[in-house]
C-alpha cells in the first residue's frame, strides 16, 4: 500500500495501515512537517459539539481516542484540552447548531448569557444580543508535533517513509497500480492520495471540485498575556453574521527550558472564511498590512488584551484551505479505480478529524469498506 502525501491526512493514514500490520510506504515531495501546504501554523482547534453534520461526532469521538493514543507515544505536546468558548447571536449556527449537537449526542455544554460570559471570561467583549456557548472538551492540537509523532509511530510499526520524492502519476493495471515518481516506479495494491492543496492537480476529476484558498494567520503581541493563558483563556471563536468566524487560541507556557511555547509566542488568531483562490506552487506568502489591520481591529473591539498599543505582530503565516463545495471533506474510493482512495480532509476544519479519517482511508484501501460513518463524505 502506498500513501501519497504525509501531512495531517497522510501521516494518519500511514499509521492506520501500519497498525493493521499492512506492508506500506509513505511518500512526500517535501519533508513534513513543513510550511508549504495546509498543516502548519503551530495550533489547530478540536471541538466535539459539531453542528456541521451529525456523523462528525462519532468520527470526532474516535479521533479524540486516537489523539490520546498518539499523545502517549511522545513527550511533545500533541493535544491539550482547554475548553472552548464560542460567541455569537443565539440563532447563529455556531451557537444553536453546537447546542443542538450537544443535546442530540448528550455532550457536556453550557449556554452562557452575556453577563455570565463577562463574569467567567472577562477577556471577551460581547455585542448586544450575543451569548456564549461553552464546551469543556474543546482543545488545541499542535499540528507539527502531531505529524512528527504520527510519522515516528508509523515507522516504529514498520512503515517505510520516503521524503523529497514526488509522485507524478499512477496507472491502473491488472491487480494493482503502477505509481511513477520523480525517482522510480512503484507497484502497489492500492494508493491513498492525501496531497492536500495539490489534490486538484494530481487526482483526475478534482480540479473542478476543489478550490484552494490563501488563509492568513497572525500572532499579536498581547497587552495582558496573563489573562490569555490556558487555564484562564479558552480556545475560542466569535461567529459573524456573514457565516465567517474569527477564532484563536490561549497562550501556553513553555514545556521545557529554552523552548518556544506550544502554539508559538504571542496571541494567535485567524479568520475562518475561504480566502482568495490560489495555487499551492505560486501562493503569495507575504501577509499584507490591510490583512493584519483587520485582525488587529477585531482584537481591539472584542479581545483587547490580545493587542498591545504597538499593534506589533510576533509572527505571521499564510496557509492553504482546500475547499469542497459543501465544506465537507472528501473521503472515498475514486469512481474510475476503486484501488485509489482519495482523502481531502480540509475545507478549513480537517486537522482534528485526521486520525479517524486516516483509519477510514486505511479500511477502504485494505477492505474496500469501513465501519466508520463516512458515507456523507463520499464522492457524490
Ligand atoms: C489557516 C488554517 C487553519 C486551520 N484551522 C483548523 C482548525 O483549527 N482545526 C481543524 O481541525 N482544521 C483546521 N484547518 C484544516 C487542517 O489544517 C487541514 O484540513 C489539514 O491540515 C489538511 O491536511 P492534508 O494532509 O490534507 O494536507 P497537507 O498537510 O498540505 O499535506 C499534503 C502533503 O502532500 C504532499 N504532496 C503534495 N503533492 C505531492 C506529490 N505529488 N507527491 C508526494 N507528496 C505530495 C505535500 O508535500 C504535503 O506534505 C486549518 C487549515 C488552515 C490552512
The number of angstroms, rounded, from the C-alpha of 347 to the middle of its chain's C-alpha atoms is 9
**Dihedral sign from CA coordinates of 155, 341, 322, 230:** negative
What three-state secondary structure class fits 213? Answer: strand
CA–centroid distance, residue 72 to ligand 1 (Å): 23
Instruction: List pLDDT tens digits, range 115-151.
Output: 999 999 999 999 999 999 999 999 999 999 999 999 9
Residue to probe by mutation, ligand 1, list 32, 63, 196, most atoms within 8 Å of CB: 196
CA–centroid distance, residue 123 to ligand 1 (Å): 31
**Closest ligand 1 atom number to CA of residue 45:** 8
Task: Answer whether 89's CB lies under 8 Å from 131's CB.
Answer: yes
Antiparallel, parallel or unpaired: β 245-248 and 267-272:
antiparallel
Residue 345 reports pLDDT greater than 80: no
Residue to probe by mutation, ligand 1, list 28, 49, 357, most atoms within 8 Å of CB: 28
Residue 178 lies inside a defined structural domain of this protein: yes
**What is the helix (H) or strand (E) element at residue 19, kind and residue range?**
helix 8-19
Q: Whose CA is nearest to atom 35 of ligand 1?
A: 5
**Closest ligand 1 atom number to CA of residue 32:** 49
CA–centroid distance, residue 124 to ligand 1 (Å): 30
CA–centroid distance, residue 202 to ligand 1 (Å): 15
Instruction: List pLDDT tens digits, range 284-310.
Output: 999 999 999 999 999 999 999 999 999
pLDDT, position 189 = 97
**CATH number of residue 379's parent domain:** 3.50.50.60
Q: Whose CA is nearest to atom 31 of ligand 1?
A: 7
**Closest ligand 1 atom number to CA of residue 215:** 1
Start-to-end CA distance of the chain, whole Å, equals: 25
Instruction: List pLDDT tens digits, range 169-215.
Output: 999 999 899 999 999 999 999 999 999 999 999 999 999 999 999 99
Residue 226 reports pLDDT greater than 90: yes
pLDDT, position 127 = 97
Peptide bond between residue 369 and the one before it cis (omega within 30 degrees of 0): no
Residue 284 lies inside a defined structural domain of this protein: no
Host domain of residue 173: 1-80+141-208+325-380
pLDDT, position 16 = 98
For the chain, percent helix, then strand, then coil, each to nearest 5? 30, 30, 45
Determine the Cα–Cα distance for residues 287 and 217; give it in Å rounded to an integer.
9
CA–centroid distance, residue 167 to ligand 1 (Å): 17
The number of angstroms, rounded, from the C-alpha of 27 to the middle of its chain's C-alpha atoms is 20
Residue 90 lies inside a defined structural domain of this protein: no
Residue to probe by mutation, ligand 1, list 11, 13, 26, 38, most atoms within 8 Å of CB: 38
Alpha-carbon distance values, 263 to 45, 103, 250, 370 (Å): 11, 31, 9, 34
pLDDT, position 4 = 98
What three-state secondary structure class fits 37? Answer: coil
Q: Whose CA is nearest to atom 33 of ligand 1?
A: 5
Determine the Cα–Cα distance for residues 179 and 332; give it in Å rounded to an integer.
19
What three-state secondary structure class fits 25? Answer: strand
Residue 235 lies inside a defined structural domain of this protein: no
**Closest ligand 1 atom number to CA of residue 181:** 42
The beta-strand segments (E) located in the chain are 2-4, 25-28, 44-46, 79-81, 84-88, 110-112, 131-135, 139-141, 160-163, 167-173, 176-181, 185-188, 191-193, 211-220, 235-239, 245-248, 267-272, 313-323, 330-334, 337-344
Q: Whose CA is nearest to atom 51 of ligand 1?
A: 348
CA–centroid distance, residue 328 to ligand 1 (Å): 15
CA–centroid distance, residue 9 to ligand 1 (Å): 7
pLDDT, position 255 = 87
Q: Whose CA is nearest to atom 12 of ligand 1?
A: 349
pTM of the model: 0.98
Residue 339 lies inside a defined structural domain of this protein: yes
Instruction: List pLDDT tens digits, range 243-299.
Output: 999 999 999 999 888 889 999 999 999 999 999 999 999 999 999 999 999 999 999
Residue 65 lies inside a defined structural domain of this protein: yes
N residues, the chain: 380
SS3 letters across 146-189: HHHHHHHHHHHCCCEEEECCCEEEEEEECCEEEEEECCCEEEEC
Which residue has better confidence, 311 or 160?
A: 160
Residue 136 lies inside a defined structural domain of this protein: no
The domain total for the chain is 1
pLDDT class for 22, splitting at 50, 70, 90?
Answer: very high
Ligand 1 environment, Cβ below 6 A:
4-10, 27-30, 32, 36-39, 41, 44-45, 166-167, 194-198, 202, 215, 217, 270, 319-321, 345-346, 348-352
Q: Whose CA is nearest to atom 23 of ligand 1?
A: 8
Residue to probe by mutation, ligand 1, list 2, 4, 6, 7, most atoms within 8 Å of CB: 7
Instruction: List pLDDT tens digits, range 46-101.
Output: 999 999 998 999 999 999 999 999 999 999 999 999 999 999 999 999 999 999 99
Residue 331 reports pLDDT greater than 90: yes
Q: Whose CA is nearest to atom 45 of ligand 1?
A: 5
Residue 167 lies inside a defined structural domain of this protein: yes
Amino acid at each position: 500500500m502506498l500513501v501519497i502525501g504525509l501531512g495531517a491526512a497522510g501521516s494518519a493514514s500511514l499509521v492506520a495501515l501500519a497498525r493493521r500490520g499492512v506492508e506500506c510506504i509513505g511518500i512526500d515531495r517535501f519533508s513534513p512537517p513543513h510550511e508549504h501546504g495546509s498543516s502548519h501554523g503551530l495550533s489547530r482547534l478540536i471541538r466535539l459539539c459539531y453542528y456541521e453534520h451529525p456523523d462528525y461526532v462519532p468520527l470526532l469521538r474516535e479521533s479524540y481516542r486516537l489523539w490520546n493514543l498518539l499523545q502517549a507515544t511522545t513527550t511533545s505536546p500533541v493535544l491539550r484540552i482547554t475548553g472552548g468558548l464560542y460567541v455569537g447571536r443565539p440563532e447563529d449556527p455556531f451557537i444553536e447548531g453546537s447546542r443542538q449537537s450537544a443535546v442530540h449526542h448528550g455532550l457536556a455544554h453550557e449556554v452562557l448569557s452575556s453577563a455570565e460570559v463577562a463574569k467567567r471570561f472577562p477577556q471577551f467583549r460581547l455585542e448586544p444580543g450575543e451569548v456564549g456557548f461553552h464546551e469543556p472538551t474543546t482543545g488545541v492540537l499542535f499540528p507539527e508535533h502531531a505529524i512528527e509523532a504520527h510519522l515516528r509511530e508509523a515507522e516504529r510499526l514498520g512503515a517505510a517513509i520516503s521524503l523529497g520524492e514526488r509522485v507524478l502519476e499512477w496507472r491502473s493495471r491488472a491487480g494493482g497500480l503502477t505509481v511513477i515518481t520523480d525517482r522510480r516506479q512503484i507497484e502497489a495494491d492500492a494508493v491513498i492520495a492525501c496531497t492536500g492543496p495539490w489534490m486538484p492537480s494530481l487526482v483526475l476529476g478534482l480540479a473542478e471540485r476543489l478550490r484552494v484558498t490563501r488563509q492568513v494567520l497572525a500572532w499579536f503581541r498581547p497587552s495582558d498575556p496573563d489573562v490569555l493563558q490556558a487555564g484562564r483563556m479558552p480556545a475560542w471563536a466569535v461567529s459573524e453574521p456573514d457565516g465567517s468566524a474569527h477564532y484563536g487560541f490561549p497562550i501556553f507556557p513553555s514545556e521545557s527550558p529554552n523552548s518556544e511555547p506550544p502554539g508559538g509566542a504571542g496571541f494567535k488568531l485567524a479568520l475562518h472564511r475561504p480566502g482568495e483562490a490560489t495555487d499551492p506552487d505560486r501562493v503569495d506568502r507575504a501577509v499584507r498590512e490591510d490583512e493584519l489591520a483587520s485582525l488587529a481591529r477585531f482584537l481591539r473591539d472584542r479581545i483587547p488584551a490580545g493587542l498591545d498599543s504597538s499593534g506589533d505582530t510576533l509572527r505571521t503565516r499564510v496557509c492553504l484551505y482546500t475547499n469542497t463545495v459543501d465544506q465537507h471533506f472528501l473521503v472515498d474510493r475514486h469512481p474510475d479505480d476503486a484501488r485509489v482512495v482519495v482523502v481531502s480532509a480540509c475545507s478549513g476544519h480537517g486537522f482534528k478529524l485526521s486520525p479517524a479519517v486516516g483509519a477510514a482511508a486505511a479500511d477502504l484501501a485494505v477492505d474496500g469498506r469501513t465501519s466508520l460513518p463516512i458515507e456523507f463524505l463520499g464522492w457524490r
